Amino acid sequence: MATIGLTAVENPLEFGIVITREDGTIERFLEKPTWGQVFSDTINTGIYVLEPEIFDFIPEGRSVDFSSEVFPALLTAGKPLYGAIVEGYWEDVGTLEAYLSSHKDVLDGKVAVDIPGFMINDGVYLGEGAEISPDAVVVGPVVVGPGCKVEAGCRLGEYTVLGSNVRLLADSQVERCVLHDNVYVGTGARMRGAIVGRSSSIRNSVRIDEGVVLGDEVFVGSDAVISGDVKVYPFKTIEDGAVVNSSIVWESKGARSLFGRDGVSGLANVDVTPELAVKVAMAYGTALPKGTTVVTSRDTSRAARMLKRAMMAGLNAAGVDVLDLEVASVPVTRFLVRSPRALGGLTVRLDQDDPQRVVVRFFDSAGTDVTEDARRKIERLFQREDARRALAEETGDIQFPLRALEEYTVALESTVEPAAIRGFKFRLVVDYSYGAASTVMPTLLGKLGADVLAVNPYASTAGRVSFDPKAALERVAGLVRASGAHLGAIIDPDGERLTLVDDQGRVLSDTEALLAFVDLVADHLLGDTIALPVNITQRARDIAASHGVQVVPTKMSTPALMAAANDPAVGFAADGEGGFILPGFLPAFDGAAALLKMLDLLARSQRPLSEVVDALPKVFLVHETVVTPWEQKGMVMRSLMEMAGRGDVELVDGVKIGHRDGWMLALPDPEEPVTHVWAESTSDSEARKLAQEYSRRIRQLIR
């Protein structure tokens, strides 16, 4: 009736024990015994040869277990039940330990299995299309699946098995681990004796100890530590810096929100996939009236091109028309969004600090970043999957504007006095960072009579990805000194931010550039106030006040600063990080417009930039961060308020406490488990002392 495959094992506790007679018939068996019940080391392998009559002993309509129900029934009925010792390798992969050991046994040649890929040396098997850097260390036996990429500095230890399309970034170390398909491992991660499910994302400097198992699509934030034998069930999120000592089964561990500080961001094709892009675009389109128009653009990268096309499809699916600028700077995109033909806009670009990441940014009809309320509405529609689906005849259209750059250039030129700039006869060194600003500025600067040495003047994908801002600054400074130029400038790849080099070849810090702008623009302001975030130095207020101009403090978020710039009373705004806003032209950051305005101001004042910088007051501003668990951020801010009492407290953004010779600002980070602390005083040592004092208080509160 049934023959059961049998084998001998060292530890029979997890199996069904079987005793056979000399003729092979089974005398008795016991499922999952205790040590006191162990009467044999011969166990049921789960391999059966069955006659059709076996179905007479399997009840209908419910799940049935062979070992505990069917086979005992056969014995009771006196039916012929035999056992046969199975020769060769056998392993039950019903436990995680056995699952790992079976991989080891295959690699050790204990199993007659054809390992996929080509064996290149010392038991290293390489799948089709796999790439291993010559500077990586691989200690066999190892399997590297098809399409995998192992970067320089990585170490693949023995008995590691990588599925298809696994990516290991520089300096990561993986030993005795099994990583399923499409796993991403960030820079400097350390993993040993772990199992990782498909499409999981492990970020920079993560440590994963022995016996850890991550289910499918688990996200592990940077600097997290997962202690030994922890199990994380599928689709869970582990925050940056978290220390996980117990298994995560039901709790979500705080899933990330869709929007970050600048928009929807993440690793291209890992976090931000075409599927996600379509869904986000449909949610955004649903938040707009059917039949309206959205302006789209991207940078020069292929990743941005792929994702923008997906988002255009999502907008069309929601019944929204698209006006596609193709490759364009962010300011040009914002400018066109402000035209009557559009109601919103989006742009897809590589992250400035990490070319592996992309950022999708959304604009309202004023060309500014969408508000927090609008973000929440889009996120709500996305989470509920409640997007509008247009009928075939209502599907959106795609058009390509013909004169967008010309319209932008003409409007930009009207914001300055061309005659004054031509009269100064500027010599400039301008680095365009391989960005789209190079399609606008050369012609405009030429019309204004400037003699320009252009660096990286062509929009380029390879150049954009490899661009090094620090090296660019050194190069521009050297060219300014060598050529005797009046000014050097670096416009970032997105066209939004500007870094200046004065006529002596000195690279201005973001604070110096801001103070120079405030000093120069205050006498030519279209309005009577300047908008600056709360963490900007007090010296900016002092300079503005000396010109009879008031500074309005704003929240530090970009949308808040842009909203303030929309006020007719505001004539200038800046974020202190190279972002400058000229509200009379565009209430948003524009590096090209800021450069043109600086030329205009220098020409009017008849002063070189070095003279303006030398007259600026010294600034002693210190910034620190304190790791703060999410659940304690509110308590920290409340406690700081209580400490301040009725003193000089400002609550525009975070808690800003005035001191006799300076101030301190504490602000929880919206994306990371940290609290930012800024402090300014009359000297560097005093500012640092003030910042360290409040950082110490915050750490005590957390403990």
Lowest mean pLDDT among 252-256, 316-320, 434-438, 442-446: 252-256
Mean pLDDT of all residues in 668-672 = 82
Question: The domain that contains 630 carries what CATH number?
Answer: 3.30.310.50
Omega before residue 141 within 30° of 0, cis: yes
pLDDT band at 611 (very low <50, low <70, confident <90, very high): very high
Specify if 337 maps to a domain.
yes
pLDDT higher than 80, residue 117: yes
**Cα gap 31→69, rounded to integer Å:** 10
338 and 305 in a single domain? The answer is yes
In a shared domain, residues 457 and 476:
yes
Mean pLDDT, residues 65-72 taken together: 85
Last residue of a domain, one of 347, 372, 402: 402
Beta carbons of 321 and 396 less than 8 angstroms apart? yes
pLDDT at 575: 94
Residue-range definition of the domain harbouring residue 638: 621-702
CATH number of the domain where residue 595 is located: 3.40.120.10
Task: Judge if 328 and 426 occupy the same domain.
Answer: no
**pLDDT classification of 41: cutoffs 50, 70, 90:** low
pLDDT band of 460, cuts 50, 70, 90 = low
Contacts 24+ apart (CB under 8 A), 558-563: 558/261, 558/262, 558/369, 558/589, 559/368, 559/369, 559/370, 559/371, 559/372, 560/653, 561/531, 561/533, 562/368, 562/369, 562/587, 562/588, 563/368, 563/371
Looking at the DSSP bridge assignments, the partners of residue 358 are 266, 350
User: What pLDDT band is residue 12 in, cutting at 50, 70 and 90?
Assistant: low
Q: Are residues 184 and 206 in the same domain?
A: yes
Are residues 129 and 189 both part of a single domain? yes
Distance of alpha carbon 111 from alpha carbon 113, whole angstroms: 6
Residue 257, in any domain of the structure: no
Please determine, for residue 34, whether its predicted confidence score (pLDDT) is greater than 60: no
Tokens of 42: 């011969």
Q: Say which residues have a Cβ less than 8 Å from residue 484's Cβ, sequence separation at least 6.
A: 427
| pLDDT of 36 above 60 | no
CA separation (Å) from 548 to 67, 185, 263, 530, 569? 90, 55, 37, 11, 14
Q: Which two tokens stand for residue 614?
A: 């030398």
Determine which of 85-99, 226-240, 270-284, 536-550 has the lowest per-residue pLDDT on average: 85-99
Helix (H, G, I), strand (E, B) or coil at 497: strand
End of a domain among 402, 423, 442?
Answer: 402
pLDDT in tens, 358-407: 999 999 999 999 988 899 899 889 877 889 999 999 999 999 998 888 89
Q: How far apart are CA 607 and CA 624, in angstroms?
A: 36
325 lies in the same domain as 219: no
pLDDT for residue 682: 94
Q: Per the domain annotation, does 68 fall within a domain? A: yes
Do 509 and 385 reside in the same domain of the chain?
no
Task: Let me know: does 311 contact 360? Beta carbons within 8 Å.
Answer: yes
Token pair 């919103």: residue:
344
pLDDT, residue 254, reads 37
Listed in sequence order, the DSSP H helices in 215-364 are 274-286, 302-317, 330-337
pLDDT of residue 32: 54
Q: Does residue 654 fall inside a structural domain?
A: yes
* Six token digits for residue 74: 């056969």
Q: How far is CA 117 from CA 100, 196, 225, 372, in A?
A: 20, 21, 33, 50
Beta-bridged to residue 184, according to DSSP, are 167, 201
Between CA 198 and CA 3 the distance in angstroms is 37
The helix (run of H) or strand (run of E) holding residue 204 is none
Same domain, 182 and 229: yes
3-state SS class at 243: strand
Listed in sequence order, the residues at least 6 apart from 138 whose beta carbon sits closer than 8 Å to its beta carbon are: 124, 132, 144, 150, 155, 156
Take residue 459 and report the two structure tokens written for it.
Answer: 């929009």
Residue with tokens 């680095």: 431
Helix (H, G, I), strand (E, B) or coil at 25: strand
Mean pLDDT of 154-172: 96
pLDDT at position 558: 87
Query: Within this chain, do residues 497 and 639 fall inside the same structural domain, yes or no?
Result: no
The per-residue pLDDT for 163 is 96
pLDDT at residue 192 above 50? yes
Per the model's pLDDT, the better-predicted residue between 122 and 339 turns out to be 339
Greater model confidence, 241 or 220: 220
Residue 501 burial (10 A CB sphere; 0-12, 13-18, 19+)? buried
pLDDT in tens, 85-104: 888 888 888 788 889 999 99
Look at residue 16 in the predicted model and tell me its pLDDT. Answer: 64
Residue 61 has pLDDT above 50, yes or no: yes
E strand or H helix at 377: helix 372-384
In a domain, 485, yes or no: yes
Q: In this predicted structure, what is the pLDDT of residue 461?
A: 67
For residues 354 and 250, the model is more confident at 354
**256 located within any domain:** no
**Residue 647 clears pLDDT 80, i.e. is over it:** no
Please give the mean pLDDT across all residues of the chain.
Answer: 89
Element (H, E) at 457: none
CB atoms within 10 A of CB 195: 21
Q: Is 659 among the domain residues?
A: yes
Token pair belonging to 488? 């050097």
Into how many domains does the chain fold? Answer: 5
User: Could you tell me the strand order of the sheet in which 451-455 lies?
Assistant: 451-455, 427-431, 487-491, 498-501
The gap from C-alpha 193 to its chain's centroid, in whole angstroms, comes to 27
Contact 589, 369 (CB under 8 A): no
Please tell me the predicted confidence (pLDDT) of residue 531. 96
* 593-597: long-range pairs with CB below 8 Å, 24+: 593/331, 593/412, 593/415, 594/498, 594/517, 595/430, 595/441, 595/489, 595/491, 595/498, 596/412, 596/413, 596/415, 596/416, 596/444, 596/448, 597/415, 597/416, 597/521
Q: How far is residue 227's CA from residue 117's CA, in Å, rounded to a whole number?
A: 33
The reply to whether 667 falls in a domain is yes
3-state SS track over 550-595: EEEEECCCHHHHHHHHCCCCEEEEECCCCEEEECCCEEEECHHHHH
CA angle 379, 382, 383 (to 5 degrees): 85
Contacts of 623 (CB under 8 A, 6+ apart): 535, 676, 677, 678, 691
Residue where one domain finishes, among candidates 614, 639, 668 = 614
**The pLDDT of residue 27 is above 80:** no
Question: Rounded to 5 degrees, what are φ and ψ at 126?
Answer: -120, 125
pLDDT band at 253 (very low <50, low <70, confident <90, very high): very low
CA 593 to chain centre: 29
For residue 415, give every residue at least 6 positions away whose Cβ sits within 8 Å of its Cβ, in sequence order, or none. 582, 584, 585, 593, 596, 597, 600
More reliable by pLDDT, 65 or 168: 168
Confidence band, pLDDT 50/70/90 cuts, at residue 256: very low
| CATH for 140 | 2.160.10.10
Query: Taking every pair of C-alpha atoms in the chain, what is the biggest distance, in angstroms?
Result: 111
pLDDT of residue 297: 96
Domain of residue 19, CATH code: 3.90.550.10
Q: Are residues 273 and 205 in the same domain?
A: no
> Rounded to whole angstroms, how far apart are CA atoms 435 and 492?
7
Rg (CA), the chain: 33
In a shared domain, residues 413 and 511:
yes
In the structure encoding, which two tokens stand for residue 323, read together?
Answer: 């006006």
Say if residue 124's pLDDT is above 60: yes
Give yes or no for residue 213 having a pLDDT over 90.
Answer: yes
Q: Report which DSSP code applies to 396.
A: -
Cα angle, residue 501 at apex, residues 495 and 503 outer, rounded to 5°:
135
Residues 101 and 80 in one domain: no
Bigger pLDDT: 258 vs 655: 655
Cα(first)–Cα(last) distance of the chain, in Å?
68
Flag whether pLDDT at 496 surpasses 90.
yes
Nearest residue to 400 (alpha-carbon basis) of 443, 336, 464: 336
Give the sheet arrangement for strand 586-589, strand by strand. Answer: 550-554, 529-533, 570-574, 580-582, 586-589
Q: Beta strand 131-132 with 231-232: parallel, antiparallel or unpaired?
A: unpaired
